[in-house]
Amino acid sequence: MVFPRPAIYLFYLVFIGFQGLPYMVSGQAKKYYNGSYNLLDYRGKAEFYYQIDSEDTVYDGAFLLNQSNIKALLSSQGDDYFKIKGFFQKGMAEENWLFEFGDFKSDGRSELAGNEYIIKAKGKKHTATGSLQNGKAVGTWTHSVEQLDSSKVQDTTFMSEIVYEAGVPQQSFKIQNQNETLLGRFLRDGLAHDFWDLYTDELNGLKERWFFEEGILREIVIIDNQKNDTLSVFSDSLTNEAIVLLDDRYTKMLAVRRQLKKDSSSNLSSRINNLLIENAAYYQKTDSILTKLGSLSFMPDFKVKVEFWPLDKKEENQLAQLQELIEEVDKVGNEISENTQLQILKLTNPEVSFLISTAEAIRKDYLSPVRTLLVFHSDNILNLLKRDNQLVELSTPRSLYEVNVPLEDGDQTNYFFTELVNKDFTGSGINGFLEITQAASKAIDSMKNSLEDRLTKQERKVALEALEKILVISADSLRTITDSLALAQNDTRISIENIQSVMTDNLRHYSEMTDFLMKINTAKQLIKCFNGMIALAHIVAEIPSKRREIQEIYTDRVWNPFTATLMDEEVKRRITFAYRDILIPAYLKQVSTDLNCGNSLILKQLIEDTNERMMQLIEEETTKLERKLKRKNDPAELKQLLGIQPMNTNQ
């Protein structure tokens, strides 16, 4: 069959264009996907069947997502290999699953076998296998981490084998790493039971034993050189029993309980705990993938029993209050510690230094138990601890609180919270924390106020100094300007001299002031005033030239045929008269006799506006206006007639 050429091109275009993209083959209900696929951080090639259920992709059938890159393997970077293979039934993970995560590099060697190149991999491989039923683990799940060299397993660095029944761990389990093995068992309901023993490869390898009775951890035995260190945990029967997971929260609770018992002989660096944490991390990896794919979570839910004292409403409120108070205290504390001016002041002022140090100490030291309490709360273990005297004893700080601050002339000691000294916090629970935090917050607030007072004074002093610097600069420049402008021998000289003398008067008045606040305000005003006067001086000094300019504009050059000369003729003479002979002299007089900070800018603006208006009037038809101007000599009236806007005095 011969295709017409365009059809061939079209075929190529469609075929080549879609080759790299996933193409889907639709079954009757299921669809098949084969193409590149992203899942969390796993980016690879996928093959799977799926359905669309109200715009959601529901995996249904075999699933495979993997990635291996020979180029990356051969490079120095190495290949992040992975393979996720399993089966879904209507979105639920079913049947056998395999997870492989590798971090491989090539050792550079390859061989040809049966016409295939074989490249030997070197690196770490995490493999997880097991079965799922309705998304829940069944049978044995194995996680192993192997070290490979030349594609051969050199070492198994981790291995966990746990048997599940409908997602609940059963029977005995084994978790081991390079040289430790944890053996333990569960009841059918997943509660930890009996001995959980940790062995090492050494002779007499039992190193640690946790003893559970139906989920209740009775004791922890740490065996070191045949010397047993027994830590009893829940020795009595539990009054308020609850089942929780054997997880981070549980081990934290254990640590706090031991702290409360003032059992400092051993910190809980339990090897069993460490192995459990390691195991949980591997499970986390597979769990996140399955959860992302829409199946159920299947973390190994090791269950234990604990004492549970739920927080009541009052306690919740108190905790919320505590949280708020601590935040407030920290805010105020930061304001104090981050204020650069205070930090500078601290160097020279012992009192300031003392206050800052004290506030810091109260915040960081005195309140540290409160912070601990809040950490318990945020870790959700407060409800696993009885808020009894023990807790209060641990967390209540010394009631008599002293702060020592080393100063140049000997240390200074102050005592705080004396009112709390004899207070009995027994049975007060969280309220005791609240009380001391409130007291601390109050103390820090008052320190802040006291510091602020000093700071304000200091700040003001600095501000005034800065202001005065500017004031001096503007006064100097005003003086320089008026000195030079007053050299002009014309009618503006007296006015300009008066600008300078008004400035001098103002400065003298300012220097006689003693009130600090008033000085600051006056300095600000004077800076503004002097700047205004500088502007005014310039405008006044420009009057002669401006007058000439306006005179010129208002002058026509007229040809006089009888003299055969061009003659200057003033036009709109009533306007120029008003300007030259009434208004400008009036302004100059005001500047020279009636100048103050308040009107300097107004006068400046008035002169400017008048000049500006004169420039406009030459262009305008003014016959009527000129008639009105006849015999008018009052500046105010003339301003109005000429349309010079009286300036807004608020400006």
Partner 1 sequence: MNTPLTYHIVGLLLISSIVHVNAQETPTRPTSSQLEEPLTLLWINTYGNLRLTKRLFWVAQTHFRFQETDNTPFVGQVAQLYNRHAISYLFSKEFNMSVGGVLRLNFNTSDEPVDNSVVPEWRIWHEYQFAMPLASVVVYHRIRIEHRWSKGFQDDSEFIFRNRWRYMLRLKIPIGSPKLSPQTFYIGPEAELIMQSGKPVIDSPMEDLRLHVSFGYILTPRVTVAAGIMYSIGQELADGDFYKQKWTPRLHLYFSPDLRKVRNKLPSIHLGD
Instruction: Please report, as ranges, the residues that interact with partner 1 according to CB under 8 A.
Output: 556-569
Instruction: Give the Cα separation of 420 and 439 in Å (integer).
Output: 9
The residue (of 95 and 568) whose beta carbon lies closer to partner 1 is 568
Q: Is 309 exposed, middle or buried (0-12, 13-18, 19+ CB in 10 A)?
A: middle
The residue (of 77 and 560) whose beta carbon lies closer to partner 1 is 560
Q: How far is the CB of 569 from partner 1 (least distance, A)?
A: 5
The residue (of 388 and 569) whose beta carbon lies closer to partner 1 is 569
The residue (of 21 and 564) whose beta carbon lies closer to partner 1 is 564
Q: How far is the CB of 612 from partner 1 (least distance, A)?
A: 22
Q: How far is the CB of 565 from partner 1 (least distance, A)?
A: 5
Q: How far is the CB of 529 from partner 1 (least distance, A)?
A: 45
98 pairs with which residues across the strands? 85, 129
Which stretches of 270-349 are DSSP H helices? 271-292, 313-338, 340-348
Torsion sign across C-alpha atoms 142, 146, 151, 154: negative
Three-state DSSP at 530 gives helix
Answer whether 123's CB lies under 8 Å from 105's CB. yes
Copy the structure tokens of residue 157: 């660095």
Q: How far is the CB of 487 from partner 1 (least distance, A)?
A: 27
Q: How far is the CB of 616 from partner 1 (least distance, A)?
A: 17
Q: How far is the CB of 642 from partner 1 (least distance, A)?
A: 22
- What is each CA distance from 566 to 550, 572, 573, 618, in whole angstroms? 19, 19, 19, 21
Among 301, 269, 299, 302, smallest CA distance to 281 is for 299
Q: How far is the CB of 559 from partner 1 (least distance, A)?
A: 6
The residue (of 518 and 558) whose beta carbon lies closer to partner 1 is 558
The residue (of 327 and 556) whose beta carbon lies closer to partner 1 is 556
Q: How far is the CB of 623 from partner 1 (least distance, A)?
A: 12
Q: How far is the CB of 576 from partner 1 (least distance, A)?
A: 14
Q: Is 166 exposed, middle or buried (0-12, 13-18, 19+ CB in 10 A)?
A: exposed
The residue (of 511 and 565) whose beta carbon lies closer to partner 1 is 565
The residue (of 112 and 564) whose beta carbon lies closer to partner 1 is 564
Q: How far is the CB of 536 from partner 1 (least distance, A)?
A: 35
The residue (of 247 and 626) whose beta carbon lies closer to partner 1 is 626
Instruction: Give the Cα separation of 375 and 369 in Å (integer).
Output: 10
Q: How far is the CB of 624 from partner 1 (least distance, A)?
A: 17
The residue (of 2 and 564) whose beta carbon lies closer to partner 1 is 564
The residue (of 400 and 567) whose beta carbon lies closer to partner 1 is 567
Number of H helices, E strands in the chain: 17, 21
Q: E strands, 180-330, where?
A: 180-186, 192-200, 206-213, 216-224, 227-232, 241-245, 303-307
DSSP annotation string for 36-98:
EEEETTEEEEEEEEEEEETTEEEEEEEEEEEE--HHHHHSSS-EEEEEEEEEEETTEEEEEEE
Q: How many residues belong to the chain?
A: 651
Instruction: Give the Cα separation of 318 and 432 in Å (integer).
Output: 10
Q: How far is the CB of 627 from partner 1 (least distance, A)?
A: 18
The residue (of 216 and 550) whose beta carbon lies closer to partner 1 is 550
Task: Return the number of other C-beta atoms located less than 10 Å from residue 342's C-beta.
Answer: 23
The residue (of 453 and 568) whose beta carbon lies closer to partner 1 is 568
Question: Angle at Cα 594 formed by Cα 532 and Cα 546, nearest 5°?
Answer: 60
Q: How far is the CB of 558 from partner 1 (least distance, A)?
A: 4
- What is each CA distance from 68 to 42, 77, 82, 149, 486, in whole angstroms? 11, 13, 7, 18, 90
Instruction: Give the Cα separation of 307 and 310 in Å (integer).
Output: 10
* Type and span of the H or E element at 409: none
Copy the structure tokens of residue 4: 């017409």
The residue (of 556 and 594) whose beta carbon lies closer to partner 1 is 556
Instruction: Give the Cα separation of 323 and 329 in Å (integer).
Output: 10
The residue (of 324 and 556) whose beta carbon lies closer to partner 1 is 556
Answer whether 86's CB lies under 8 Å from 108's CB. no
Q: How far is the CB of 564 from partner 1 (least distance, A)?
A: 4
Three-state DSSP at 306 gives strand
Instruction: Give the Cα separation of 635 and 642 in Å (integer).
Output: 10
Answer whether 249's CB lies under 8 Å from 337's CB. no
